[in-house]
A and B are shown apart, each in its own frame.
Chain A
Amino acid sequence: MAMPMDFKTYVDQACKAAEEFVNIYYETMDKRRQALTRLYLDKATLIWNGNVVTGLEALANFFDTLPSSEFQVNMLDCQPVHEQATQAQTTVLVVTSGTVKFDGNRQHYFNQSFLLTAQSTPNNTVWKIASDCFRFQDWASS
């Protein structure tokens, strides 16, 4: 199942996307929460500690009611997702972990995974989150 294009190119692209994206995502999450939904596809889904949130409107509402946050990302990994799985849509899987403190709550270790998909607009192509999975590592005791 070799990829048609140079594998290294795919990886490089994925790494670049992941690094840039992660910086923007957590900065937006912490400091400009109201702009966060711009990073999501219209029909994106978030599974947040087992809670399902689907669609931009629900996402906007969810992030609005989420207390203010302070994220610290300690681990970042990524890889290009095989086109067989994505119907030839350029996709990157990004995995992060670190700590987060939500206002009014204690600090948690977290894991998060994103599927980023390249979305073309007339002016450029941007990475958008198609799917997002977030969980506290110690969710069972929170």
Chain B
Amino acid sequence: MERNRQDETLGSWFKTTIPFGIQYDEKWLLNLIQKQCSVSFTPVEFHYEKMQAQFFVENANIAFALKNVNGKIYNEANERISIFVDPCDAPHSVLKELRSEKVEQIKLPVKERHDASQQSLDIQRLCSDPDLMTRDTGMLRNPRNGMAASLQIHPWNMPKLLPLELSNKKPYQLHGLSNSMPNASNTKNLNLSNTEVKSAGEMDKGERLEPEGMCADRNPLCTSFPDKSTNIRAIRDRFPKLLRLDGQELPSPVTVDVDTPCVLKPCKGSYFGSDKLKRQVLQFLQQSSLCKYFKDSRNMKKLTDPHLRVQLLKHTNRVIVHTLCVLPKTQHDLSSFVVDTWFQTVSACFLPRAGPGSRSGRKFSGLCACLHPDLHRYPCQLLQSVHRE
């Protein structure tokens, strides 16, 4: 359908939704709506989506009139038909109108308006560019496509036009910048001065822009906030990477970094703490007969009897040594040991921990022992070798 693109009063696009509209014939439904609608409308891209019937209209006046039809139309069973109208991006078919040669036509002035060194694009100047205005690009005389064109037709971008909602007259609003602007984030500086951005919400769709600097003065937006800091906050909420606003440096943005890379630290060998300790511990290990394991498991996960828990704990030197003596002969490979000396106090108590040792193929690990500084008397305390069950 041909739309009159010369008319600069043509405004935004609106999506009309009829819930459960899938049950109605297109022609029948549109006729019904038109009968009740105070103005004549041209539906664009009528289609069914899931259970709904949807179509687009251009122009806010038409949208308003359509909204008023809600509750005034009935189906053949005399049930009320609802109709909802909401602003939206221009439909796909509209965008396709812009043919590639027209894209080429505006490429040059866009390039000239683009200060690559500053990575900035002065959209305001672009849309009032006399050079552009004189060319028969059609879409640029309708400013609503100007911004889309200017942001997309960019030296680094593929020329691909995307929907854009603009105000009735130039200059334009940010509202309507679609999510699907892939490379808009390249633009580091955004000059929106005097662009009639009326509310912060209108900037919501500029979310793919990540400017570091912005000029937003002389916008009704800026005067509607109670104070400057609220203004800054509202703008920064939408453009978190903003560093400069209206030529003024902003405090560095603070964000929450949730995606901290979490990597396991590489595992290291024995930890002794000091060389002196290392010598003492190694000497002890070589001389002691501690490196054995108990058959009677005192695994508290399985042993719940508190009486047995006490009984199985080997207490006093005499008892410990006796227990060890009745164990089968062992042969430990000290060279396979890894030792972590993980606790030292002023009284020089330390606890070496032996790692995997082999004894005729049987692995054990996790021996924990506490040694008293007087190494002539050992062991003070032997816990239990923990073997993998």
Report which A residues bind B (CB closer than 8 A): 1-2, 7-8, 11-12, 15, 18-19, 45, 47-52, 62, 64-68, 73-79, 81-82, 84-87, 93, 95, 97, 102-105, 109, 111, 113, 115, 130-133, 135-137, 139-140, 142
Contact = CB atoms under 8 A, between A and B. Distances in A.
Interface of B: 260-271, 298-301, 306, 309-310, 313, 315-317, 338, 340, 342-343, 345-347, 349, 351, 353, 355-356, 365-366, 368, 370, 372, 380-381, 383-384, 386, 388-389
A50 B299 contact: no
A79 B313 contact: yes
Nearest to A136: B267
A112 B309 CA distance: 20
Given A15-B309, A76-B299, A87 B346 contact: yes
A85 B370 CA distance: 8
B262 A103 contact: yes
A76 B380 contact: no
B306 A85 contact: no
Contact of A77 (B266, B353, B386, B388): B386
Contacts of B346: 87
B366 A97 contact: yes
A65 B259 CA distance: 10
A50 B271 contact: yes
Nearest to A93: B383
A82 to B, nearest CB: 6
A135 B356 CA distance: 11
Given A1-B317, A50-B270, A74 B389 contact: yes
22 contacts: A11-B309, A11-B313, A15-B309, A49-B265, A49-B267, A50-B271, A67-B262, A68-B262, A74-B299, A74-B301, A74-B389, A77-B298, A95-B383, A97-B386, A97-B388, A104-B264, A111-B353, A111-B365, A131-B342, A133-B351, A137-B355, A139-B355
